[in-house]
């Protein structure tokens, strides 16, 4: 887990995918979902009429459109100015959703989010790639780049392909080492707890759900807290042992040999990070989310408790 300098940044969810894959439908579902978060969306259509902005504006969440062509060509211009404008309002949003153009490689957007001007105020939380289960081309270099960038893959338009077609695209994604694959329903909905950073900005907001189901029941959530600082090597070893069961983990922690310093821990898909935060953290507050068929919340809780043993 790499440590990255960070303050208390606003999480960014980057949604990418080929033209027509279903990105706007998925983002619509995110903006409309009952998560209680204040979101801002930054969208871009490749063309002179920003249709996506008009569609997404109906959600009631603030939507900012970039009209200068492919979003990756506007990184040092429109995107930076738009993000600054979003963050300059009196009450910054809980999270920002960025829709990449279907003709862009998300690598450039990811790089821009680590710009020194932005990295202290926004944090890339997850990259979601929407894949059209019916119409995709694994031989296409752009499609491959979009999928390889993903922390989470969302399969859209699965009704038309049937079980065999779904198994085939899953096999392709598995060969690309994509283990966190969600299937969207007809409205583009997926469990928002896996997509949005609901818990980590305010550790005092944690509630104790010992293996409670979330959303549609396909995933379980465990909330675990400790009043004592953790031993970092034991924490890393515990997370590594639990990682195969987890879709996502996040939270704040304090470390024994770093008194007065708080840390933000994030795990999504195969990516994990540990980042310093501006304010000290009292104890440790973690949220673990795993697939219901493999995640043993009781054993996970016991493993976490054992970190405090002598």
pLDDT in tens, 60-93: 666 666 654 444 444 456 677 778 888 887 677 8
Q: List pLDDT tens digits, range 273-295.
A: 888 877 778 888 888 988 888 89
Of 195, 213, 246, the residue at which a domain comes to its end is 195
Banded pLDDT at 132 (limits 50, 70, 90): very high
What is the per-residue pLDDT for 116? Answer: 78
Average pLDDT over residues 253-265: 87
The separation between CA 203 and the C-alpha centre of its own chain, rounded to angstroms, equals 18
Lowest mean per-residue pLDDT among 5-9, 79-83, 259-263: 5-9
For residue 66, the Cα-to-chain-centroid distance in whole angstroms is 22
**Section 16-28 average pLDDT:** 89
Instruction: Note the pTM of the prediction, 2 decimals.
Output: 0.80
Same domain, 80 and 139: yes
Query: Looking at residues 234-261, what average pLDDT do you find?
Result: 89
Both 122 and 45 in one domain: the answer is yes
Q: Which of 154, 176, 195 is the endpoint of a domain?
A: 195
Please indicate, yes or no, whether residues 149 and 186 belong to a single structural domain of this protein.
Answer: yes
pLDDT at 241: 92
* pLDDT (mean) for 114-134: 86
The CATH number for 298's domain is 3.30.1220.10
Structure tokens at 121: 């105020």
Based on the domain organization, do 188 and 266 belong to the same domain?
no
Residue-wise pLDDT tens digits, 173-225: 999 999 889 988 877 788 887 888 665 454 444 444 455 545 456 788 888 88
Domain shared by 151 and 48, yes or no = yes
Distance CA 36, CA 219 (A): 19
- Do 239 and 214 touch, CB atoms closer than 8 A? no
What are the tens digits of pLDDT across the range 138-178? 999 999 999 999 999 999 988 888 888 899 999 999 999 99
On whether both 227 and 279 belong to a single domain, the answer is yes
Phi, psi of 48 (to 5 degrees): -85, -20
Token pair belonging to 18: 């080929």
Sign of CA dihedral 135, 136, 142, 148: positive
User: Is 121 in contact with 84 (CB distance < 8 Å)?
Assistant: no
Q: Are 146 and 56 in contact (CB under 8 A)?
A: no
Owning domain of residue 118: 2-195
**Domain limit, last residue, from 195, 227, 254:** 195
Domains contained in the chain, number:
2
Q: Are residues 185 and 208 in the same domain?
A: no
Instruction: Say what the pLDDT of residue 206 is.
Output: 45
pLDDT for the residue 74: 47
Helix (H) or strand (E) holding 162: helix 162-175
- CATH number at 121 reads 3.40.50.300
What sign has the CA pseudo-torsion 231, 233, 236, 237? Answer: negative
* Secondary structure letter of residue 89 according to DSSP: S
Same domain, residue pair 258 and 154? no
Mean per-residue pLDDT, 215-240: 85
Number of H helices, E strands in the chain: 9, 14
Question: 164 with 89, same domain?
Answer: yes
Mean pLDDT score across all residues of the chain: 80
Question: Is residue 61 located within the same domain as residue 164?
Answer: yes
Please indicate, yes or no, whether residues 164 and 237 belong to a single structural domain of this protein: no
**Alpha-carbon radius of gyration of the chain:** 19
Whether residues 32 and 178 fall in one domain: yes
Instruction: Tell me if 102 sits within 8 A of 18, measured CB to CB.
Output: yes
Flag whether pLDDT at 310 surpasses 80: no
Site of tokens 């639990």: 242
């Amino acid at each position: 887990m790499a440590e990255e300098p960070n303050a208390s940044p606003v999480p960014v969810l980057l949604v990418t995918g080929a033209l027509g894959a279903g990105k706007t439908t998925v983002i619509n579902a995110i903006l409309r979902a009952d998560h209680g978060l204040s979101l801002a969306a930054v969208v871009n259509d490749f063309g002179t009429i920003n249709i996506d902005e008009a569609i997404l504006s109906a959600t009631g969440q603030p939507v900012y459109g970039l009209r200068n062509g492919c979003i990756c060509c506007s990184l040092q211009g429109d995107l930076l100015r738009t993000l600054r404008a979003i963050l300059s309002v009196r009450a910054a949003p809980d999270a920002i959703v960025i829709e990449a153009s279907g003709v862009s490689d998300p690598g450039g957007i990811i790089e821009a989010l680590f710009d020194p001007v932005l990295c202290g105020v926004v944090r890339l939380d997850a990259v979601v790639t929407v894949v059209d289960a019916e119409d995709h081309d694994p031989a296409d270099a752009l499609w491959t780049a979009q999928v390889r960038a993903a922390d989470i893959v969302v399969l859209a338009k699965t009704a038309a392909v049937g079980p065999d077609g779904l198994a085939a695209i899953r096999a392709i994604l598995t060969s690309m080492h994509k283990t966190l694959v969600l299937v969207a329903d007809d409205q583009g909905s997926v469990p928002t707890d896996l997509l949005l950073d609901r818990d980590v900005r305010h550790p005092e907001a944690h509630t104790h759900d010992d293996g409670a189901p979330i959303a549609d029941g396909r995933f379980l959530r465990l909330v675990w807290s400790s009043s004592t600082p953790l031993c970092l090597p034991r924490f890393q070893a515990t997370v590594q042992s639990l990682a195969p069961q987890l879709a996502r983990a996040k939270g704040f922690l304090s470390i024994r040999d770093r008194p007065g310093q708080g840390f933000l821990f994030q795990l999504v898909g195969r990516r994990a990070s540990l980042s310093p935060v501006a304010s000290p953290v009292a104890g440790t507050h973690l949220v673990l989310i795993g697939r219901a068929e493999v995640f043993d919340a009781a054993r996970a809780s016991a493993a976490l408790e054992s970190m405090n043993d002598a």
